[in-house]
Amino acid sequence: MLKKPIVLNKYDDEGKVEKSFKLCIIPWNMMKKFSAAMDELGENFKYTELLDRMDGIICDAFHRQFDENDLGEHFDAGEVVAAVNSIMDAIGNTNPNVMRALTKKAPASTIPTGGAVSN
């Protein structure tokens, strides 16, 4: 169980919260999908490749209450990045091997930290 739920808000075209979604656990299937996505990343991957793979994983984690199109069009980028970071932190704490593998594949000039790649 997560120490703090991950919350994502879906916004309407006027910027008002249409619906809030809460994730209280990292489902086992999500851990497996995340691990598989990390295995598919090539050496020296770009952070955008990682983010592209996260769309479906995020939608699955929230039990497909929204789809990738909604995520891209109606969710705040900052909230989504925070959710990605929280998910990666939780998975890394549960299964450190996933984050070690990701770190090995990251470009030499970057270090994955909490889901973000920094120079």
pTM for the predicted model, two decimal places: 0.74
9-32 residue pLDDT tens: 999 999 999 999 999 998 888 888
Domain boundaries, the chain: 6-118
pLDDT of residue 32: 86
32-50 residue pLDDT tens: 888 888 778 777 778 788 7
68-113 residue pLDDT tens: 999 999 999 999 999 988 988 888 888 677 666 666 666 665 545 5
Q: What does R_g of the chain's alpha carbons equal in angstroms?
A: 14
